[in-house]
Amino acid sequence: MNYTTQMDAAKKGIITKEMEIVASKENMKVEELRELVAEGKVAIPANKNHKTLSAEGVGQGLKTKINVNLGISKDCPECEKELEKVRVALEMKAEAIMDLSNYGKTEGMRKRIVEMSTAMLGTVPIYDAVGFYDKELKDITAEEFLQVVEKHGEDGVDFITIHAGINREAIKTIKENKRLTNIVSRGGSLLFAWMELNNKENPFYEHFDKLLDICEKYDMTISLGDSLRPGSIADSTDANQIKELIVLGELTKRAWERNVQIIVEGPGHMALNEIESNMVIQKKLCHGAPFYVLGPLVTDVAPGYDHITSAIGGAIAATYGADFLCYVTPAEHLRLPNLDDMKEGIIATKIAAHAADIAKGIKGAREWDNKMSKARADIDWNTMFDLALDKEKAERYRAESKPHDEESCTMCGKMCSMRTMKKILNGEDLNILRD
């Protein structure tokens, strides 16, 4: 039986090879996964032209996935540095990479990432449009925006961020509900500018059916961009954010009718006490579609440490329904992240994702922690290192401060509680003062 997309196959009762791969990774029955894909509650972004992909699922009942942003800009145009980030991100087992390149002809870099990446690849086509056509934003036509989307589909991109929810009605709401930080979404601000400069409707909203034609052709998942996400805790859960979310829910249903998979993007910056309710609202308004959040950052006053403010919010968001976390690095709000920034961002986000998976009861999540705890009780350093989320750092820290007694560490020495309990329970002499 033929099918056009993962969702089309799922609705027809077909088990695809991508579903089998995801089910195996998730320790889930493939039939259970197929039903979730058919309902839109799980997305498997898998462009037909991405031949190196090892498929991942995003959504209900699955492990929380993380995304790594990278890409060239006018100030930092060196492709090789960004491709090195891709290699390291893959080594660190990031499930998704987004190429946010916004300068020059980006096709070459995008194709190289598709060729080398086993992780799913995302892009934001509107970032590419100005360089692709070598035109000012105002002069790009609606048809040309769609042609860029088609090019990304041809190149093998698995999911695309499309800011289709910021329509003329939303702009009216923006002007009537003033914000402290206005529109902080780069794609959203570009579309706002295009609409105002041309006095026209958002081309991705107006021509959403044509967009669906392209995505169905390549089985490209749409990540519905949150143009009006809050960029400060002062602006969270306001009329602008909720207005757009309602539109994104409507677009989700239209996409599903065409068997196009959807992920919905969410906040942003948000105080801790608002996160749970926002996750519930999103899932309700967007019919259980997978939810992808940037953070949320829970305070605005920690530049240089926003991987931490983001991980705090991400752990809470994923506990209450978010399925996909976009990493944030220490360089957020300050500069393009370097390789070390990227590593810190990945680790912080993986910690958040895993903490949430424990809370959600995801299969196998707690077992990892139990193995680490047993290794600590056994004072089995090699096993501890093998189980560590960041093995290199754990080994380096221990090597930098060698204990007198190899069993313990330099924090407690022979007063180590694990050492004490192990020796006493084994009927051995404790021997704290003597060599």
pLDDT in tens, 100-120: 998 877 888 999 999 999 999
Residue 45 domain flag: no
The residue range of the domain holding 387 is 366-400
Whether residue 99 contacts residue 353, with contact meaning beta carbons closer than 8 Å, is answered with no
Residue 3 domain-assigned?
A: no
pLDDT digits (tens, 9 = 90+) for 328-365: 999 999 999 999 999 999 999 999 999 999 999 999 99
Q: What is the pLDDT of residue 407?
A: 82
411-426 average pLDDT score: 89
pLDDT at 250: 98
Whether 210 has a pLDDT exceeding 90, the answer reads: yes
CA distances from 129 to 72, 111, 134, 150 (A): 14, 16, 8, 12
Q: So what's the pLDDT on residue 73?
A: 83
Tell whether 221 is covered by a domain. yes
| Domain CATH code at residue 331 | 3.20.20.540
Query: Mean per-residue pLDDT for 186-214?
Result: 97
Higher pLDDT, 76 or 223: 223
What value does the mean pLDDT take over residues 302-321? 98
Q: Are residues 152 and 240 in the same domain?
A: yes
Pair (383, 434) in one structural domain: no
Instruction: Report how far residue 89's alpha carbon sits from residue 211's, in angstroms, rounded to the nearest whole number.
Output: 30
- Summarize the annotated binding site for Zn(2+) as residue ranges: 269, 333
Q: Is the pLDDT of residue 319 over 70?
A: yes
Query: Does the pLDDT of residue 77 top 90, yes or no?
Result: no
Q: Is the pLDDT of residue 431 over 90?
A: no
pTM recorded for the entire structure: 0.95
Average pLDDT of span 310-338: 97
- 351 shares a domain with 213: yes
Write the DSSP symbol of residue 297.
Answer: B
pLDDT band at 1 (very low <50, low <70, confident <90, very high): confident
Per-residue pLDDT tens over the stretch 120-139? 999 999 999 988 898 999 99
How confident is the model at residue 292, as a pLDDT?
A: 98
Is the same domain home to 373 and 421?
no
Annotated binding site: 69, 98, 127, 163, 185-187, 226-229, 265, 269, 292, 333, 409, 412, 416
Condensed to tens digits (0 to 9), the pLDDT of residues 176-194 reads 999 999 999 999 999 999 9
pLDDT digits (tens, 9 = 90+) for 367-377: 999 999 999 99
Alpha-carbon span 125 to 127, nearest angstrom: 5
pLDDT tens digits, one per residue of 11-52:
999 999 999 999 999 999 999 999 999 999 999 999 999 999
412 and 385, same domain (yes or no): no
Pair (250, 324) in one structural domain: yes
348 and 420, same domain (yes or no): no
Nearest alpha-carbon partner for 147 in 172, 162, 129: 129
Do 166 and 228 meet the contact criterion of CB atoms below 8 Å apart?
yes
Q: Are residues 288 and 157 located together in one domain of the fold? A: yes
- Same domain for 292 and 345, yes or no, is yes
Known binding-site residue numbers for substrate: 69, 98, 127, 163, 185-187, 226-229, 265, 292
Q: 208 in a domain, yes or no?
A: yes
Same domain, 413 and 394: no
The reply to whether 114 and 167 lie within a common domain is yes
Binding-site residue ranges for [4Fe-4S] cluster: 409, 412, 416
User: Phi/psi class of residue 71: alpha, beta or left (left: φ > 0; alpha: ψ in -120 to 50)?
Assistant: left
Give the separation between CA 137 and CA 157, rounded to whole angstroms.
Answer: 23
- Mean per-residue pLDDT, 231-251: 97
- Residue 337 in domain: yes
Count of domains forming the chain: 3
Q: Based on the fold, state whether residues 343 and 262 are members of the same structural domain.
A: yes
Confidence of residue 435 (pLDDT cuts 50, 70, 90): low
Per the CB < 8 A criterion, the answer to whether 313 and 297 are in contact is yes
What is the residue-averaged pLDDT of the chain?
95
What pLDDT score does 102 carry? Answer: 83
Q: Is residue 423 part of a domain?
A: yes
Check residue 326 and give its pLDDT: 98
